[in-house]
Amino acid sequence: MYAEVQSKNVFDVEAYLKLMQEEFDLPYKKFNYIHRDRETCAELARNGYPTLRLHHVPKATGHSIPLFMSTRHAFGEDKYVLVSDYINPSFAESLKQNNIQFLDKNGNAYLKQKPFYIYVRGNKNKSASSTKASNPFGRAFNNKGLQVVFVLLTASAPFDLTYRDLSERAGVSLGVVGPVLKDLEANGYIDMHYKGIVDRRGLIKAWTKNYARLINRNQTEERFTTEYEDWDSRFMSLADDALIGGEFAADKYTHYLNSRSARVYADNQTFKDIQKSLRLRRVKPGEYPLTAIEHVTPFTFIDVLRGKKSHLVHPLIVYAELLASNDARNAEVAERLYEKWLN
DSSP 128-180: HHHHHHHSTTTGGGSHHHHHHHHHHHHSSSGGGS-HHHHHHHHTS-HHHHHHH
Single residue among 167, 198, 229 that ends a domain in this structure: 198
C-alpha span between 325 and 331 (Å, rounded): 8
Q: Residue 186's closest CA among 142, 125, 139, 138?
A: 125
CATH number at residue 279: 3.30.460
- Residue 309 has what pLDDT? 93
Q: How confident is the model at residue 24 (pLDDT cuts 50, 70, 90)?
A: low
Judge if 131 and 178 occupy the same domain.
yes
Judge if 115 and 157 occupy the same domain.
no
Judge if 291 and 231 occupy the same domain.
yes
For residue 203, tell me if it sits in a domain. no
How much is the average pLDDT of 149-174?
94
Mean pLDDT of the chain: 81
Give the list of residues 6+ apart from residue 240 with CB closer than 8 angstroms, or none: none
Judge if 47 and 107 occupy the same domain.
yes
For residue 172, tell me if it sits in a domain. yes
Judge if 154 and 223 occupy the same domain.
no
3-state secondary structure of 329: helix
For residue 33, tell me if it sits in a domain. yes
Single residue among 141, 168, 198 that ends a domain in this structure: 198
For the chain, the domain total comes to 3
Distances (CA, A) of 258 to 248, 249, 290: 8, 10, 11
Which residue range forms the structural domain that includes residue 294? 218-342
Judge if 86 and 174 occupy the same domain.
no
pLDDT in tens, 310-339: 999 999 999 999 998 888 999 999 999 999
- Residue 103 has what pLDDT? 86
DSSP state for residue 266 in the 8-state scheme: -
For residue 206, tell me if it sits in a domain. no
CATH number at residue 190: 1.10.10
Q: Can you give the length of the chain in residues?
A: 343
How much is the average pLDDT of 127-143?
60
For residue 208, tell me if it sits in a domain. no
C-alpha span between 343 and 341 (Å, rounded): 6
Phi, psi of 245, deg, nearest 5:
-130, -160
Judge if 39 and 93 occupy the same domain.
yes
Whether pLDDT at 52 is above 80: no
Judge if 95 and 158 occupy the same domain.
no
Q: Residue 1's closest CA among 160, 159, 141, 115?
A: 115
Q: Which residues pair with 223 in a beta bridge?
A: 294
How much is the average pLDDT of 223-239?
89
Whether pLDDT at 44 is above 90: no
- Residue 222 has what pLDDT? 84
Based on the number of CB atoms within 10 Å of its own CB, is 35 exposed (0-12), middle (13-18) or buried (19 or more)?
A: exposed
For residue 327, tell me if it sits in a domain. yes
Q: How confident is the model at residue 36 (pLDDT cuts 50, 70, 90)?
A: very low
| E-assigned strand segments in the chain | 3-6, 33-35, 40-42, 52-56, 80-84, 101-104, 109-113, 116-120, 190-191, 196-197, 219-225, 243-245, 261-265, 281-282, 292-296
For residue 81, tell me if it sits in a domain. yes
- How many CB atoms lie under 10 A from the CB of residue 310? 10
Single residue among 87, 103, 120 that ends a domain in this structure: 120
pLDDT greater at residue 239 or residue 320: 320
C-alpha span between 88 and 75 (Å, rounded): 24
Sheet harboring 292-296: ordered strands across?
243-245, 261-265, 292-296, 219-225, 281-282
Q: Residue 241's closest CA among 212, 269, 280?
A: 269
Judge if 229 and 334 occupy the same domain.
yes
C-alpha span between 294 and 96 (Å, rounded): 51
How much is the average pLDDT of 53-76?
81
For residue 268, tell me if it sits in a domain. yes
Least confident of 26-30, 36-40, 215-219, 243-247: 36-40
Judge if 270 and 317 occupy the same domain.
yes
C-alpha span between 141 and 182 (Å, rounded): 12
Judge if 249 and 335 occupy the same domain.
yes
Judge if 310 and 296 occupy the same domain.
yes
